[in-house]
Amino acid sequence: MAEDLLSVEDLRVEFERSDGTVYAVNGVDFSVAPGETLGIVGESGSGKSVSVLSIMGLLRGNGQVTGGTAKFMGKDLLKLRRRQLEDIRGRDIGMIFQDPMSSLNPTMRIGDQIMEGMLAHQYTNHKGAFNRALQLLEEVGIPEARARFRSYPHEFSGGMRQRAMIAMAVACEPQLLIADEPTTAVDVTVQTQILVLLRELQQKQRMSVVLITHDFGVATNVCDRIIVMYAGKVMESAPLADFLARPAHPYTIGLRRSVIEVGTQAHQLKAIPGVATTLMAPPHNCPFAERCQWVTDLCRAEVPELRPLSDGHFVACHRAEEVLAEAGANGAERAAPRGDGASASARSRGAWSQAGDEATLHA
Amino acid sequence: MPDEAIPDRPISDGPILKVDAVSKHFKVQGRTLRAVERVSFELGAGQTLGLVGESGSGKSTLGRLVLRLLEADEGKVVFQGQDLAKLSARELRARRRDMQIIFQDPLAALNPRMTVGAAIEDAMAVQGIGGSPNERRQLTGGLLERVGMPVSVAEAYPFELSGGQQQRVGIARALSVGPKLVVCDEPISALDVSVQVQIIELLRQLQTELGMTYIFISHNLGVVQLVSDTVLVLYLGEVVEQASSAELFGRPLHPYTKALMSSVLKVPEAAEKRVPLVALSGEIPSPLSPPAGCPYHPRCPLATDQCKREKPQLRTVWVGHMAACHRAEEVGTMGTSPTALAAPPELAAS
C-alpha cells in the first residue's frame, strides 16, 4: 500500500470562550492516501471543519491545537513555522470553501486573483501565469474565459464563483485539495456540476481530496472512504462499501435514517432524539450516549476508543458488534432495538405518515 | 384539486385558499423582473401545498404574496372566501391571526433583545389573545411544551438556543395566534439533518392535531415530496408543473422537474450500485432577461425549434396533472430513471 499523503494522529483543538474552554476536537485520527477522496461527515459543531482548518494553521485567534501530529509528505504541519506553512498552502494543498465570496477579493479581477497565487508559489513569468490562468478558467467550465478573465466576483453567479475559486485552488496543481462544504450554498443542479468538475480535476491532476460535508448524498456519491464525526471525535471510519453495507455506529445509522430524498416515505424516517452538545470538558464517556438508543452504563462511564471492526473499518462504540448484527444491511431498514422498536409501526396519515415519535428535545 | 387528495385526510367543502393568476413584478435597474407570473392554485383546509424550485424561481415571493406581505400587481388571493386585496390595513392586521409564516432563519425572525417568552406573548398581545399578561404567560408555557421544549425556555434569549430550538420557538410564535394557514418558508434548510427530521415531525403532528393548512416552500425535493399533498414546480417565476405529490414525483411531465429529481444525490444502496454523476448543463438564467420561447429551452435536452420560438402554456396533460411543456406527453412516457434525460433516446434527435 502506498504511503499516506496526509496522516493525522490524536489531533486536539480547544477554543477559549468567555464562558470557558470548548473542547472542539478530542483526539482525531485520519489519513488520506494518494488519489483518494476522503469524506468527513458530521453535523455543525462536530469538529469536521475545525479538524482540517487547524492542521492548515487557519484557526481563529481563540482556537489552539493542543496536541497531535499531522504528517503531510513527511513533514508535521503542526510543527512548521508560519512561513513554511504558507508555502505549502496554496501550492501543495489547495482549499475551497462553502462561500466563494469569502475567499475571493471583491475588488480584484477574477483572472488576477488566480494569477496572484501562481506568481506567489510557482510561476516567475507573468505571461506563463496568464496563459495558465486562462486555461484554468476554461477547464473549470467558465464560458468565454478570455472576457471573463477581467470580470469582478460580483459579476459572476454563485456557481461561477465556485468554479473560479476551484480554479484558484488547483492552479498550482496541489497534491491535496480540501473542500469544505463546497456545494452547500448552491442549487442542486449546480451541485452536481461542481462535483463532476472536482472529480475531473482530481483524475487529471491525480490529487487527493478531503471533502467536508453534512450531506450523506454528496459523501456517498463521491468519496472512497468516509469518516463520521461527533463532538470532536471520529465515531466511524470505513471504506465506502462497508460504510453503506455495514454501518456499525448508532450515530451513523441515525444519520442515515434522517436522510430525506425523493422517494423517502415518512415511516422510513426516524429522528435522532435530542441535540448535539458543546463539550465544555474533555469527554469522559461516549459523547453520543445521551442520544443513543443502545446506551448502557458502560457508555456513560467510559469513552469508547476507535477500534478496528474489520479490515479498514473502525468504530468507536462499545456495542458495535451488536449494532451491526441488529441493524442489518444499510442500517436503515430495520426498526430500533431495546424493546421500544415498536414505535416505528407506521400509522399512515395523509402525506405525512408516522415518522417515529422520538422528536423529543433535551433542553 | 380536491379530487387528488389522499383519502384519509380531511377534505373540506371548498378550498380555504384560492390564488388566481397572481403576478409580481419588480423594477430593477430600470428593467422589469417578473418574479411571479400568473400563478394559480387552490388549497383545501388541512392540506399541504409544496412550492419547489431553484433560487430565483419565485417561490418565496409567491409565499409572501399569498399572505399579502407583498402586494400582488395582478391577480387575486381569496382566503376563506375573502379577497385579501380588498381589506383595509386594520382588517388585514386582524386577519393575520389566521395567516402566519415560519422563516428559514429563526434567529433573524426573533428580536435578539426579547426573551423567548416575551416574543411569543407579544405576538398574542398584538392579536388580543389572552385577557391578561399572566394568562398569556401561561399560554406561552403550554405552547413551548407543545413544540417540545421545557417551559423554562421562556426565560432564555434566542441566541442561547440551538438552531433547532430557535425554529421551535418560531413555530410556537406562529401557533400562538391560532392560525389556519401557515407558510413554511424553508423551515428546515438551515438545520442539521438529525434536527430536520424532528422539525418535520413536529410540523406534521401540529397539522394533524390542529387541522392547519400549510404552504411548504423548499428547494429540497425530497422534503417537498414527503410533506406535500399538491406540488407546484416553479421556474423563473412561472409554474412549469402542478400535480399531486404522488403523481408529480411518480410521473413527472416537465423536463425541469426531471432534472431537479435527478440532481438530488441519493445515497446508493451499495458501493457497486453507485452510478456516475451526470451534470445538467447551464444555470438558471437571469430573470431580468428570460430566454425567448420556453424559458427552460436553453438547458433542456429535449428542446426543439418549436420550444425556442413558442412559449408553452401551462395545460392539463392528463387529469389532475398540468405541465408547461410542448413535449409533456413524451416526457411522461420516459420514466423517472436519473439517466433518462441525460442521455435522451431517439427523442433528442429532432
Residue A198 covered by a domain:
no
Residue A336 covered by a domain:
yes
Total Cβ atoms within 10 A of residue A33: 17
Rg (CA), chain B: 21
Nearest to B225 among A241, A262, A363 (CB): A262
- pLDDT > 60? residue A353: no
The three-state secondary structure class of A136 is helix
Q: Tell me which DSSP letter residue A42 carries.
A: -
Q: pLDDT-derived band of residue B7, with 50, 70 and 90 as boundaries?
A: very low
Which neighbouring-strand residues pair with B242? B232, B322
Binary contact (B194, A255; C-beta < 8 A):
yes
> Is A351 touching B (CB cutoff 8 A)?
yes
- pLDDT > 90? residue A330: no
Q: How far is CA B334 from the centre of its chain?
A: 27
The mean pLDDT value for A131-137 works out to 93
In A104-258, which residue ranges form alpha helices assigned H by DSSP? 110-121, 126-139, 145-148, 158-170, 188-205, 216-222, 240-245, 250-258
- Of B59, B177, B200, which Cα lies nearest the Cα of B126? B177
The mean pLDDT value for B230-245 works out to 97
Residue A67 covered by a domain:
no
Which neighbouring-strand residues pair with B270? none
Q: What angle do CA B325, B329, B335 make, to 5 degrees?
A: 105
Q: pLDDT-derived band of residue A361, with 50, 70 and 90 as boundaries?
A: very low
- 8 Å CB contact between B108 and B158: no
Non-local CB neighbours of A213 within 8 Å, separated by 6+ positions: A39, A40, A41, A181, A183, A184, A219
The mean pLDDT value for B116-140 works out to 93
The three-state secondary structure class of A135 is helix
The three-state secondary structure class of A322 is helix
Contacts of A193 in chain B (CB under 8 A): 279-280
Q: Beta A37-41 vs A225-230: how paired, if at all?
A: parallel
Q: What angle do CA B112, B117, B120 make, to 5 degrees?
A: 85
Indicate the pTM of the whole model.
0.86
The residue to which cell 442542486 is assigned: A188
Non-local CB neighbours of A155 within 8 Å, separated by 6+ positions: none
Binary contact (A260, B222; C-beta < 8 A):
yes
Residue A159 covered by a domain:
yes
Q: Beta B181-185 vs B213-218: how paired, if at all?
A: parallel
Distances (CA, A) of B64 to B101, B203, B228, B250: 9, 20, 19, 29
- 8 Å CB contact between B51 and B217: yes
Tell me how far apart the alpha carbons of residues A112 and A132 are, in angstroms, rounded to a whole number. 12
Nearest to A189 among B148, B168, B260 (CB): B260
B252-299 residue pLDDT tens: 999 999 999 988 899 999 999 998 888 877 788 888 888 999 999 999
Of the listed ranges A31-35, B145-149, B229-233, the least confidently predicted one is B145-149
The verdict on A255 and A167 lying in the same domain is no
A54-65 residue pLDDT tens: 999 999 888 999
Q: Beta B48-52 vs B213-218: how paired, if at all?
A: parallel
- pLDDT > 60? residue A362: no
The mean pLDDT value of chain A amounts to 87
- pLDDT > 70? residue A333: no
Nearest to B193 among A160, A187, A258 (CB): A258
Q: Can you give the residue range of the structural domain that contains A121?
A: 100-171
Residue A218 covered by a domain:
no
Binary contact (A215, B163; C-beta < 8 A):
no
Q: Tell me which DSSP letter residue A98 carries.
A: S
| Residue B337: Cβ-neighbour burial (10 angstroms; 0-12, 13-18, 19+) | exposed
Residue A140 covered by a domain:
yes
Total Cβ atoms within 10 A of residue B40: 16
**Helix A126-139 vs helix A110-121: angle between axes, to the nearest 10 degrees?**
120
> Is A305 touching B (CB cutoff 8 A)?
no
Q: Beta A225-230 vs A6-17: how paired, if at all?
A: unpaired
The three-state secondary structure class of A208 is strand
Distances (CA, A) of A130 to A105, A121, A144, A150, A171: 18, 14, 15, 12, 11
Q: What is the pLDDT of residue A189?
A: 85
Polymer length in residues for chain B: 350
The residue to which cell 409564516 is assigned: B101
The verdict on A242 and A167 lying in the same domain is no
- 8 Å CB contact between B347 and B30: no
CATH number (3.30.450.40, 3.40.50.300, 3.90.105.10, 3.30.470.20) of B2-110+163-235 reads 3.40.50.300
Binary contact (A269, B48; C-beta < 8 A):
no
Nearest to A254 among B48, B194, B271 (CB): B194
The residue to which cell 434569549 is assigned: B157
The three-state secondary structure class of B5 is coil
Tell me how far apart the alpha carbons of residues A109 and A77 are, in angstroms, rounded to a whole number. 32
- 8 Å CB contact between B2 and B44: yes
- pLDDT > 90? residue B343: no
The three-state secondary structure class of A168 is helix
Q: pLDDT-derived band of residue B13, with 50, 70 and 90 as boundaries?
A: low
Contacts of A357 in chain B (CB under 8 A): 201
The mean pLDDT value of chain B amounts to 89
B154-176 residue pLDDT tens: 999 999 888 889 999 999 999 99
Contacts of A191 in chain B (CB under 8 A): 263, 265
**Which domain-ending residue is among A154, A171, A188?**
A171
Domain total in chain A:
2
Q: Where are the domains of chain B?
A: 2-110+163-235, 251-268+278-349
